[in-house]
Each structure stands twice: as C-alpha cells, then as structure tokens.
Structure 1
Amino acid sequence: MENWTNAKLCDVANLILGAILFLSPWLLKFDAGMVSTNAHIVGLVMAVLAIAALAAFAVWEEWLNLIVGLWALVSPWVLGFQGMTTATTVHVVIGIAVAVLAAIELWVMSQHPPRLTTHS
C-alpha cells in the first residue's frame, strides 16, 4: 500500500508540474511563439499522463513521463530558445523534476512489482 501511495504522490506532483509548465508562458511572461507552444503542449501531455496514471497505473505511462520530462529538459537547446533565461529555467527545472519522478517510480516498480491479487 505504501508504494501505491508514493506512486500517487508522484503522479499528483507531475500533474501540478504539468499545469505549471502549461501556464508558465502567461504567468512568467515569456509568451513567444514556439516557446509558449512547446510549454503548452509538453505541460498538457504531462498533465494528461498524470491523470491517466492516477486513474489506472500502467508502466508505459511512466516511460512516457520520462521521455516527456527529458524533452522538456533539452527542448531549449533543440528548439533554440536557451537564450530566454526564464523559459529555459522553467523547462529545465520541470523537465528534471518530471524525469526524476518517473525514474523513481520505474525503479520502485522494478523492485516491488504490483501484486495482481489481494490474496497472500
């Protein structure tokens, strides 16, 4: 039960991080075409994956979270907006947080796979 609770806390954290990334162009005033579009899409994908994981956990969701988190981390350099300090910082910090949370969940699940039955 403890692993389930920790996984749900990670998913709630990912939901919040996705929402922050989605809203960040407006909140932090870096609304600049491709940069804000990237923040909106990546934030929305993070939030949707977190909601899906909260509804019914699946390992593939964590792998996608890891990929999306890594994309957020490297996107300032791939898309060429690394000179925009605020946008880069938001993408990098949230990307690292989401990727680390996904990696932790994947590691925990590999150490303690979920039981398919409630019988001992």
Structure 2
Amino acid sequence: MLGLKQRSELTAINIINAVLAVFLFFSPWLVGYRDAQIASWNAGACGLVIGLMAAFAITRLQEWEEWSNAALGLLTAVAPWIMGFAGSMPAMWTHVLVGLAVLTLAAIELWLIHGSPPSKTA
C-alpha cells in the first residue's frame, strides 16, 4: 500500500513525464529538426504515447504503465540508430535525453511502488 507521500511523489514524476512528452512531441519545431521526417514522426508518436501513459498514471496508478514508460523511454533513446536519424544532431540528442529521462523516471517510480530496500539494523 502506498502512503500519501509516495503517491504525491509518483504524481509529480508523472507530471514531469507529461511535460517531457509535450516537449518531445513539439521538439521538431522547438529544436529545429522538422525537416527530418522520420525523426519528426517518431517524436510525435513517442511523445503522444508517453503523454498518454503519464495521463493514465496520474489518474490511476498501475505498475504496467511504469513498465510501458520504461520501454518507451528506452525505445525513444535508441530510436536515432534504429530509425536512421542519428546524423541529425538536434533530433538525436533530443530523443536520447528525453528517452533516458523517461526511462530513469520510470525506474524511480517502480522503485517507489515496490518500496525502498529494508533498513539494516545493527
């Protein structure tokens, strides 16, 4: 059972994920790689799905949403090489940084859901 503090921490993390998703979605225009079609489409698709997962998690926390966000973060981070737009530095760095941030936040949320490790007593 999650305490009130953990729930508020998870909500804050999901709000950050939502902000990252909005940034990723609009990054082709904000960062300046809208002419890189594959990177732009990927940013839109990943941003949309990450945003939906964050919205679901804000309204009703489920562990599967965090695993989905972890996978989406990893996919976003490696997309420049998988989809062939690693040569576009703005697109590559945006995807890598946002992807790693989403992955890290998902790992923190999963750790909070399952609780911190037990304290050692002497």
Q: TM-score, normalised by structure 1?
A: 0.91
Cα distance in 1, alignment partners of residues 89 and 95 from structure 2: 10
Aligned residue in 2 for 1:39: 43
> Could you list the runs of 4 or more consecutive aligned residues of structure 1 that deviate by over 2 angstroms after TM superposition?
none
Cα distance in 1, alignment partners of residues 84 and 32 from structure 2: 18
CA offset at residue 107 of structure 1?
1.0
Compute the RMSD of aligned alpha carbons.
0.8
User: Any gaps of 5 or more consecutive residues in structure 1?
Assistant: 113-120
CA offset at residue 72 of structure 1?
0.6
Aligned residue in 2 for 1:23: 26
CA offset at residue 102 of structure 1?
0.3
Cα distance in 1, alignment partners of residues 57 and 115 from structure 2: 19
Percentage of matched positions with identical amino acids: 38
Cα distance in 2, alignment partners of residues 108 and 49 from structure 1: 17
Cα distance in 2, alignment partners of residues 81 and 40 from structure 1: 15
Aligned residue in 2 for 1:67: 71
Cα distance in 2, alignment partners of residues 44 and 54 from structure 1: 15
Cα distance in 2, alignment partners of residues 18 and 58 from structure 1: 19
After TM superposition, list the pairs within 5 Å mapping 1:75-90 onto structure 2: 75-90=79-94
Aligned residue in 2 for 1:108: 112
Aligned residue in 2 for 1:115: none
Cα distance in 1, alignment partners of residues 96 and 29 from structure 2: 18
CA offset at residue 91 of structure 1?
0.3
CA offset at residue 110 of structure 1?
1.1
Q: TM-score, normalised by structure 2?
A: 0.89
Aligned residue in 2 for 1:10: 13
